Amino acid sequence: MVKILSERRKDVCWITLNRPEKLNALDKESWSLLAKHLRDCNDDQSISAIVLTGNGRAFSAGDDINAMLELKDQRDALDFFNALYSAIESLVDLKKPLLCAVNGLAYGGGCEILLFCDVIISVDDATFSIPEGKLGLIPPMAISVGYSILGRSITRLALTGDSITAEEAKTIGLVDIVVKREDLYTEVEKQLEKIKSIDMNSIMTMKYWLKNDKEKIRNAVMELALMSLGDSAKKRMNEFINRKRTR
C-alpha cells in the first residue's frame, strides 16, 4: 500500500495520508513521501491549491512509535528526523494555499502539521492532542512556532497532553471550521472556491510574509532526534506499545 497518495483534481492537488490500519501514523517513508508530494504540487504552476487529509477514521496519529522505538543510534535518529524536517520545511515553503480536511483524530505530529495549514476544516467528532511529553519526547513544531500561532493554549496542550474536541480546537484557533462528517468535503470545495477568487500573486506574497522560522523548527526537531534515543523515551515508548497490545 502506498503510504501517501497524491491526486490531481482539476487544478487542486489532494494529498492523502494512507495508513488507515496505523491511524495514518508517519514513519520515515511517510514523511519523505509527504515532503516529495508537497514539493511537486508547489512547483507545478498549474496547481492553485493543495488539500491534505487522511484515509479512514484518523487524520494522523503522528509519528509511528514502533518506527521510533527501532531507532538504534544517532545515525538512525538523524535519518528519521531529517525526513520529518524535510516534510515540515516543504510545508513552510509552500507558495500555494494549503487546506487541511481533518477527518478524525489528529495527535502528536499529526496535530502539529495543522500549525502550517492555512485553512483547517474538521469533522465535529475529531479529537486533538499533543502527547509527546508522555513518551519522554517533545513536540518540536508546537514548541518552536506554536506559541506565536496559538499563544498559551499550545503550552497547556504540550505540558498536559490533554485531548480536546473539535469545538475546543476551534475556540483556541487550531481549527477554523467544524462540520458534520458528511459535510467535510463539501465545505472544502466551498473554501477552495473562495481562495480561487483571490489573486495568486497576492496569495504568494501573503504566504511569504506569514512564513514560519525554519531554523527554529529544525533545531527543535534535532533536539527531538537526540531525545528519542534516551532511556526514558525508550522505556515510555515501550510501555505505550505494550499497553496497546494488551487492549
C-alpha 10/C-alpha 51 separation (Å) is 12
The whole-number pLDDT of residue 245 equals 73
First to last CA, the chain: 26
C-alpha 51/C-alpha 122 separation (Å) is 13
The whole-number pLDDT of residue 243 equals 86
From first to last of the 247 residues of the chain, give the pLDDT tens digit.
899 999 999 999 999 999 999 999 999 999 999 999 999 999 999 999 999 999 999 999 999 999 999 999 999 999 999 999 999 999 999 999 999 999 999 999 999 999 999 999 999 999 999 999 999 999 999 999 999 999 999 999 999 999 999 999 999 999 999 999 999 999 999 999 999 999 999 999 999 999 999 999 999 999 999 999 999 999 999 999 998 776 6
* Helix H or strand E encompassing 98: strand 98-102
pTM of the model: 0.96
The whole-number pLDDT of residue 247 equals 65
Judge: domain 2-182, CATH 3.40.50.2000. Answer: no
C-alpha cell at 87: 516534510
The whole-number pLDDT of residue 166 equals 98
Round the CA-based radius of gyration of the chain to a whole number and report it: 17
